[in-house]
Chains A and B, each alone.
Chain A
């Protein structure tokens, strides 16, 4: 079984999820502090 699709999927989930969290938190902060 080729392991790289699994490694890529795990990194995509983690980095994508973290980026979404950061973006949502930043946008909410900007809106609230305006």
Chain B
């Protein structure tokens, strides 16, 4: 069957997105998110507490770095969440552009602030580790500079998505920006290979690690704990955005009803 002019949707994309807000399964999402939020929160707190205890008291000092190696247990999860957060924004942006699912746009917006915060924590803990280990707080090294760029890209995304919403945009520009920003992720990952500057090479791979097991073991606990906390923050922010959208829709309906009554 040929798709003629009549086959086009009756409502425009711009009008369809707010309409989808009412029907795109927020109830189903909330049914899962409401019990999952406290589970992730308390599991994350418990794992981070165990990880801190293990990382600060149960592992030996490194033969070269000494006690400062303990900063690794918080620096690596922060780097993982800073980069993982942007991957989440990119995947949500693709889902939003392909399926026009408003929950995907809400997820991207919910990830942006905690992602930026963990990128900042990664930079700060790296600087604090660098002072006693390298003798400097900062160096314009490939890894450090690319991570700083990611932090600024996060700030750009937050500003762009806020401006887009305030001006009644359809969310496509922030989504495209979210996808374009992924170019930084391989640069951060391979910066230590491409530019042989101050930051050491990758110590942990998928199958092997150059860190001794006696020092390494609290790291997966901390990674799991901070990931649970990050997920809990994202779910809470998504629930906030959904509740605000619902309240705004209710206000609009009331305003529309009042205007109709006056007319």
Contact = CB atoms under 8 A, between A and B. Distances in A.
Interface stretch (B120-128, B172-180, B191-199): B120-128
Interface in B213-256: 226, 229, 232-233, 236-237, 239-241, 243-244, 247
A18 B41 CA distance: 11
B257 interface: no
A3 B226 contact: no
Chain B contact residues: helix, strand, loop or mixed: helix
A29 B67 contact: no
A3 B233 CA distance: 32
Chain A contact residues: helix, strand, loop or mixed: helix
B71 interface: yes
Contacts of B96: none
Contacts of A6: 68, 71, 128-129, 131-132
Interface in B121-179: 121, 124-125, 128-129, 131-132
Interface of B: 41, 48, 52, 56, 66-68, 70-71, 74-75, 78, 113-114, 117, 120-121, 124-125, 128-129, 131-132, 226, 229, 232-233, 236-237, 239-241, 243-244, 247
20 contacts: A3-B66, A3-B68, A4-B67, A6-B71, A6-B128, A7-B68, A10-B124, A11-B74, A13-B125, A15-B48, A15-B52, A15-B74, A17-B120, A21-B117, A22-B232, A25-B232, A31-B240, A32-B240, A33-B240, A33-B243
Given A13-B125, A22-B232, A28-B237, 4 more contacts: A10-B74, A11-B56, A14-B78, A17-B121
